[in-house]
Structure 1
Amino acid sequence: MKTKHTLPWEDTPAKSERIVSAITRIASVLRSGAWQFATTEGLNPTQVDILEALRSRRAGVRLSWIAQHLGVTAASASDSITSLTAKGLIEKGRDSEDGRAVALRLTRSGQDLAARISNSVSFAHEAASDLPQSTQDALFESLLVLIGKLQQSDRFPEIRACVTCKHFAVNRHPDSETPHHCMLVDAPLSVSSLRLDCPEHDQAQTTVAVQNWRELEGV
């Protein structure tokens, strides 16, 4: 009895599955690079993530924010912070918005180490920069829209992105290479210039942020 052979392309996973698989593999390579470096510094994965999260948040953040941002328990985050504090990488101060609350910040040594962790994946930065500019623009815009989709389904931690900022005006200049506008600096913005982590970010109302994401993806 003859067996019907399946042609190679007939069992190809859906494109959405292949996109997620590609992102997962890239994330795995990046995480491996950072962790290999961190191991030589006596750090565990959660401690690495905390240092990277605090690097651009010089004003400091609360323990609850770190736990939520990393998707770990408060107890796990607290243990890692205690260790990092003992190593002289994190310091505790008063929260700028609530003097009764404790804010966690990187020390100078912590900032230096966080920068070195970032440099440990410089190979990925080089690979991305070698792509044609048009490919970089298209890739960034696609990833931005995907992040928006995930945020709307509550599957992505809060980020200080232009799109979710109250100073952001989506499609203020239609039919232009710089269609969006930052009202904080009063300047037009192209999609490729949008930030995912802006220190001047001021969270917009949820309904406004959702509408911004939708307009960005052309819905």
Structure 2
Amino acid sequence: MNTASMETNPPSPWQDTPAKSERIVCAITRIASVLRSGAWQFATTEGLNPTQVDILEALRSRKDGVRLSWIAQYLGVTAASASDSITSLTAKGLIEKGRDSADGRAVALRLTGSGHDLAARISNSVSFAHDAVSELPPSTQEALFESLLALIGKLQQSERFPEIRACVTCKYFAINRHPGTEAPHHCTLVNAPLSVSLLRLDCPEHDPAQTAVAVQNWQELESV
């Protein structure tokens, strides 16, 4: 008997390496943890909890105000939890309640002047992350942004990601209007070509497209 045929290949030293998808999710989780830590430190210093910090950030660019139900959905928390945080922020003079511009019977939440000042300082709590990203080569930044955008698209299509004011989900977004160019897409609101690197994830002028159109945009973006 040929003893060589009975021999087995030695185990690979890398055979226990997790799948690439697991390592990518692990990396994102660790980055999120570091950013969350920065928010915790800021919250502690200002006498806030992380949810309250998230609410201030969410309201910063929404001058027309938003409803309580929107905040709860956006942050992925219960309405009761969001309500408790909003009550506390209102008592601190950081949030005020007014009438919704779209429905005078509904209540809209907006930042006060003090709330805006504090929200502006929140970004500084994670400035180290902005600095780290800015030090990456431009090509790496662009590839990273496109990859994260694609991942957000997949999560949105699976309904595992809260609605965001992204260009891709806006009725003014015309995908691949200018194929083969550096700015293949188009924003009909400002009537100008739009490159992938300039796509926004939180645009103040966002007007939601129909769900079917948004889903189709995400899918087509993968192939552009």
TM over 0.5: yes
Question: Counterparts of 1:195 and 1:66 in 2: how far apart (Å)?
Answer: 20
1:71 to 68, 71, 76: 76
Q: Does 1:84 align with 2:99?
A: no
- 2:3 — aligned with what? none
Cα drift, residue 7 of structure 1: 3.6
- Measured after TM superposition, the shift of residue 106 of structure 1 is 0.6
CA distance in 1, matches of 2:116, 2:51: 16
What's the CA shift for 1:217?
A: 0.6
1:200 equivalent in structure 2 = 205
Q: Which runs of 5+ in 1 are unaligned?
A: none
In structure 2, C-alpha distance between the alignment counterparts of 1:85 and 1:5, rounded to whole Å: 65
Q: Which amino acid aligns with 1:197?
A: D
Is 1:52 the counterpart of 2:57 in the alignment? Answer: yes
Amino acid aligned to 2:14: W
Structure 1 residue 6, shift from structure 2 partner: 4.8
Please state if 1:142 is matched with 2:147. yes
Give the SS at the match of 1:57: coil
What is the count of residue pairs matched by the alignment?
216
In the alignment, structure 1 residue 29 sits paired with structure 2 residue 34: yes
CA distance in structure 2 between the aligned counterparts of 1:46 and 1:65, rounded to whole angstroms: 14
Query: TM-score of the superposition, structure 1-length normalised?
Result: 0.96
Cα 1:92–1:7 change in 2 (3 A) is same
Native 8 Å contact 1:63 1:77 kept in 2: yes
Aligned twin of 1:210: 215
Distance (Å, rounded) in 2 between the aligned partners of 1:203 and 1:133:
30
State the shift of 1:54 in Å: 0.8
Does 1:188 find its partner at 2:182? no
Instruction: Work out whether residues 167 and 182 of structure 1, in 8 Å CA contact, stay in contact via their aligned partners in 2.
Output: yes
Residue 4 of structure 2 is matched in structure 1 by none
> What residue ranges of structure 2 are gaps of 5+ in the alignment?
1-8
CA contact (8 A) 1:34 1:118 kept: no
Name segments (4+ residues, structure 1) moved above 6 Å.
Answer: none
Name the counterpart of 2:5.
none
Percent identity for Structure 1 against Structure 2: 86
State the shift of 1:8 in Å.
Answer: 3.2
| Other-structure match for 1:106 | 111
Is residue 39 of structure 2 the alignment partner of residue 38 of structure 1? no
RMSD, matched Cα = 1.2
Distance 2:24 2:163 in 1: 22
Moved more, 66-75 or 182-191: 66-75
